[in-house]
Structure 1
Amino acid sequence: MKRQKRDKLSRAHSKGYNAGISGKSKEICPFQASEARSEWLGGWREAMGDRNTGLKF
């Protein structure tokens, strides 16, 4: 049975979160499409909020 891939927007959010939690700049966003870019930045912002509240990896 094949595994189903996560949708692109969910993956973009996850990658943005990972970039933010590791302290990377939002300027490195790899997505050009506005929806995917928006999701990536949303994940990045969420991670920055988590870092500011003390969640560290």
Structure 2
Amino acid sequence: MKRQKRNPNDRAFHKGYVAAVEGRNHDSCPHDAGSQHQEWVNGWRQGRQDYWSGFGRAALAQRMANM
């Protein structure tokens, strides 16, 4: 069986979350506009919030694995 592709919006959210956890800037979004840009920004905000809330590396890794 072929593996289904991930939803592009879910993938953009995950990539934004990872970017925030790694400390990258908000301006590093690879999407210019549209729903993927918005999802990337939402993921970035969630990742930054988790980082500031004091999630440790283990908690962040577990959270990213569940996305």
Q: How many residues align?
A: 57
Amino acid at match of 1:37: H
Match of 1:18 in 2: 18
Give 1:33 shift: 3.2
Cα RMSD after superposing both structures: 0.9
Identical aligned residues as a percent: 40
Give 1:11 shift: 0.4
Determine whether 1:5 maps to 2:5.
Answer: yes
Match of 1:43 in 2: 43
Give 1:35 shift: 0.8
CA distance in 2, matches of 1:3, 1:56: 32
Deviations 1:1-43 (A, max 9, x none): 1111111100000000000011100101001232110000000
